[in-house]
């Protein structure tokens, strides 16, 4: 069980199975020299505890990170293969992480030298991720707390069969690039019952992803739930985002792509969304650029097809509450807007929809009326 772990951990999931049971042969990091005072470097103690856990011949060896302590750990890798096929904390197939502790990335020092905040010579564009899962299958993580990552809090890369539930992820709304969860090249991912507030996307979905189900999430502050952006060959499909509360976010349901990108984003459902003071509640931006309006028009584009926005309500801080800004080279097709009710967040303000190269239809009672 991970408790009060101030660390940046990289889980390279290339070994056998895991569970979260405390069972025979426990290897406590304190027994290998960890101080747990939040100041001393406990990295070597964690490495030693893991090596002993991994080499144990018991049926279910366990690496123990005790509660009530704060551990300072440098970026480390827990890797196998291991002798046991049932390991707690680090495994591969069927890894389970459960606990009520907090992983603190202590990101402020990184934010202060971020190029987004401080553009002086020597600024950094890429900071560490607090927790990364690489090539994990049948992964489960529940009841975890994350705060103040230098950059993205949790990343999935090349994973299949993932469930994240009852998570809390928090960073200041002004912190740069601190996405809550980023999903890349992964499939069959289920995220539910989470509270995410940060300085970037609450959940972002990158290239080569499929069969993603996100539900029961409180998002804000942050940039919303976003799909896309990649400038290469994009393949994103079968994404369902439902029962999300967006509060004070820059965006709500967003699909964004680079003009130089190719490929497809298709079979997307956004439903039962609640917006409170959101700047761009519903937005497709196929002209995404890191520096606004500085990317040249191209004759390429990602094809966005079969997107449903349904049964969603709330308030918009900007006049354009529904903004479908698609590419002239690759227009959006089969966009359906069904029963969307968006009102102005400020008295006297109006809300409208704006369409550019977007083809689809409006169903139900929509406010503002869609511009197809």
| Structure-block tokens of residue 5 | 């772990």
Choice among 182, 195, 223, 303 that is catalytic: 223
Compute the CA torsion angle 320, 251, 297, 205 (nearest 10 deg): -150
Alpha carbon distance 84, 15 (integer Å): 10
Nearest to 197 by CA among 226, 220, 164: 220
Catalytic residue among 86, 179, 198, 200: 200
How far lies 279's CA from each of 128, 276, 290, 307, 308, in Å?
29, 9, 18, 21, 20
Helices (DSSP H) in 188-235: which residue ranges?
none
Contacts of residue 110, defined as CB under 8 A and 6 or more positions apart, other chains included, come to 124, 127, 128, 150, 151
Is 287 a residue of the active site?
Answer: no
Sign of CA dihedral 222, 226, 229, 232: positive
Strand partners, 40: none
In whole angstroms, give the CA distance from residue 63 to residue 55: 11
Residue whose entry in the numeric block shows the structure tokens 């369902």: 240
Catalytic residue status for 200: yes
Catalytic residues: 200, 223
């Amino acid at each position: 069980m991970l408790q009060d772990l101030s660390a940046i951990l990289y889980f390279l999931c290339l070994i056998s199975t895991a569970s979260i049971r405390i069972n025979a042969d426990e290897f406590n990091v304190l027994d290998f020299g960890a101080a747990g005072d939040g100041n001393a470097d406990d990295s070597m103690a964690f490495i030693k505890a893991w090596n002993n856990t991994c080499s144990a011949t018991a049926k279910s060896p366990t690496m123990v990170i005790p509660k009530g302590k704060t551990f300072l750990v440098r970026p480390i890798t827990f890797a196998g293969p291991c002798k046991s096929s049932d390991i707690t904390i680090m495994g591969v197939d069927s890894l389970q992480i459960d606990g009520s502790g907090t992983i603190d990335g202590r990101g402020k020092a990184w934010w202060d030298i971020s190029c987004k905040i401080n553009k002086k010579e020597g600024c950094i564009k890429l900071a560490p991720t607090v927790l990364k899962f690489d090539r994990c299958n049948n992964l489960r993580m529940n009841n975890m707390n994350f705060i103040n990552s230098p950059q993205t809090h949790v990343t999935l890369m090349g994973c299949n069969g993932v469930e994240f539930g009852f998570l809390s992820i928090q960073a200041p709304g002004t912190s740069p690039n601190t996405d809550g969860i980023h999903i890349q090249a992964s499939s069959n991912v289920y995220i539910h019952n989470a509270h995410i507030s940060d300085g970037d996307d609450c959940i972002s979905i990158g290239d080569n992803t499929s069969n993603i189900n996100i539900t029961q999430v409180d998002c804000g502050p942050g940039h919303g739930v976003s799909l896309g952006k990649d400038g290469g060959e994009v393949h994103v499909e079968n994404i369902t985002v439902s029962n999300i509360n967006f509060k004070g976010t820059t965006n709500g349901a967003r699909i964004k792509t680079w003009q130089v990108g190719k490929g497809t984003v298709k079979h997307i459902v956004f439903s039962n969304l609640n917006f409170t003071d959101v700047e761009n509640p519903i937005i497709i931006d196929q002209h995404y650029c890191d520096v606004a309006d500085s990317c040249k028009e191209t004759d390429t584009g990602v094809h966005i097809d079969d997107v449903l926005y349904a049964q969603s309500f709330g308030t918009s801080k900007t006049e354009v509450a529904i903004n479908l800004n698609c590419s002239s080279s690759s227009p959006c097709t089969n966009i359906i807007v069904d029963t969307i009710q968006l009102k102005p967040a400020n008295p006297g303000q109006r809300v409208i929809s704006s369409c550019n190269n977007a083809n689809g239809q409006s169903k139900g009672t929509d406010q503002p009326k869609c511009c197809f």
